[in-house]
Chains A and B, each alone.
Chain A
């Protein structure tokens, strides 16, 4: 009975989510209310469930809801007018259902409103079939089919979960919101192999191959506001390895990515300034994290290679190697109160770190500060209960290298090298 009620609630939300695409006004409010009802209801169900735990073994429903305020001064990161904004809404609902001993279904629907950061609306973050191919005391092998989430980078699996990631806005050079829907997961196949030993600790190897659909809005976000054609991701191949020595507070990881994209121009007759083109993107990261009782340190260092063949004119060629890193520290002042400090430094071309050559080569059309992105962040997180947190942070940013659109930037709005933002966010999850 309870199981059925839960399922109905999930179906109701999903159908509401689908309606989103039709009418966008009033929508976030309706969805918010629906979600709150579902959330309260689900929590109540959990509390009343004392006698029916067999249900929770095969079916689980989880979700989160968060709302914040964000104010950006000096860039169009969130909005064009620079006013205080409520465009910081993240709502998610996920379910997992154990089909048989070795097969499981899992899926998550997310509704986002982040202003210019990404397209407003609902999307399916993952919807997959998990086959537990092998499991014993020390080994686990799983194959995931469908839309799976990217678990390769330090925070890629928690980037869209407000309370699970370390800050409201993540280091944009890795967790770039403009690429969010492409980077958060793929449609295809993924495999995970885990091994645990008392001597050497835990090893996690993950491989994935797939592609992500790219909407017209995303195409404009990534390429240019004037791109009238359509972009497609042809493939996205990734691998990562994590190692945590036995009983150690440290964990180390490496990841590799290669992706290919194509752009089909709508043609100059249809007002498209741009030409057919191929893009490739390679991304290599190394990361480490230390989790102590009070102190936590983490960092990622990375190199990317971005090539363009076409786009501006048929014979255009670009081959840029960008590099970056961030270092982050968190300190647990009390059981509930955590402080955060982070520094991020990223440049798009390692041979032109200050962007001067780019400015010259474009005849000043793209100012030098579009060549880098440096972000100094401080923040605070307070856990009110086991399921309810509030967070606040301040960012001092230098450079416009991580503002959309990426390929053909907009220096008219983003006319300053330095910009700042602050944000507060309330988060509830179950």
Chain B
């Protein structure tokens, strides 16, 4: 059973949407998330500007995030963003190189949104508990019992629930 769980686990790795703790939204619909990442919704409900962070387009987590969470192919996202960036029409998401950097960026930027693998979230929480990271806490607004047991501290990033 244990071996099977280990084998299955990498594929079942969930992608969590995280925001800066001052962001009021505890959940977003799939189309809201899509609008935010295609830069069609630029403000939260309290009128604060949204700052979007992403990993490089060939990063496997980015590829999965685009397909699974946004239901857009990564090349389509690139086109939308390139058009904004290289035609002066608007501002595209900020690209960071790793999940760690992405979390750090979300923590440091009011109005920020990003995504991470749940394994990274759990690892960071463990590091925090062991006192390895002092300023890092994770809040969890998801009502799911199992999720709540995993990460349950009030702190520096929100994990946002995505509704269909």
Contact = CB atoms under 8 A, between A and B. Distances in A.
A164 interface: yes
A164 B41 contact: no
Contacts of A132: 42
Interface in A87-108: 92, 94, 96, 98, 101, 104, 106-108
A126 B85 CA distance: 12
A151 interface: yes
18 contacts: A53-B53, A53-B112, A54-B108, A64-B86, A126-B88, A130-B88, A136-B43, A137-B32, A137-B35, A138-B41, A148-B88, A164-B82, A164-B83, A291-B73, A291-B75, A291-B76, A332-B75, A385-B56
Interface stretch (B6-14, B89-97, B152-160): B89-97
Contacts of B40: 140, 194, 196, 202
Interface in B122-147: none
Contact of A192 (B82, B89, B104): B89
Interface of B is mostly: mixed
Contacts of A163: 82
A112 interface: no
Contacts of B56: 385-387
A50 B88 contact: no
B161 to A, nearest CB: 18
A292 B71 CA distance: 11
Interface of A: 46-47, 50-51, 53-54, 56-57, 60, 62, 64, 92, 94, 96, 98, 101, 104, 106-108, 126, 128, 130, 132, 135-138, 140, 142, 144, 148-149, 151, 157-158, 161, 163-164, 192, 194, 196, 198, 202, 246-247, 291-293, 332, 335, 383, 385-387
A158 B35 contact: no
B88 A94 contact: yes
Contact of B42 (A46, A140, A157, A332): A140
Contacts of B32: 137
B105 to A, nearest CB: 5
B71 A247 contact: yes
A157 B87 contact: yes
Contacts of A335: 58, 63
Given A130-B89, A157-B83, A291-B73, 4 more contacts: A53-B53, A53-B112, A151-B87, A386-B57
Contacts of A137: 32, 35, 41, 43, 45
Interface of B: 29, 31-32, 35, 40-43, 45, 49, 51, 53, 56-59, 63, 71, 73, 75-76, 79, 82-83, 85-91, 94-97, 101, 104-105, 108-109, 112
Contacts of B88: 94, 96, 106-108, 126, 128, 130, 144, 148-149
Contacts of A94: 85-86, 88
Contact of A386 (B49, B59, B91): B59
Nearest to A195: B40
A50 B29 CA distance: 30
Given A47-B97, A50-B104, A385-B58, A135 B43 contact: yes
Nearest to B83: A157
Contact of A158 (B31, B73, B83): B83
Contacts of B53: 53
Contact of B58 (A47, A130, A247, A386): A386
B104 A51 contact: yes
Nearest to A157: B87
A292 to B, nearest CB: 8
Given A96-B91, A137-B35, A383 B73 contact: no
Contacts of B91: 60, 96, 98, 104
Given A151-B87, A161-B86, A383 B58 contact: yes
A50 B63 CA distance: 22
Nearest to A204: B40
Given A96-B88, A149-B87, A164 B109 contact: no
Nearest to A293: B73
A293 B74 CA distance: 9
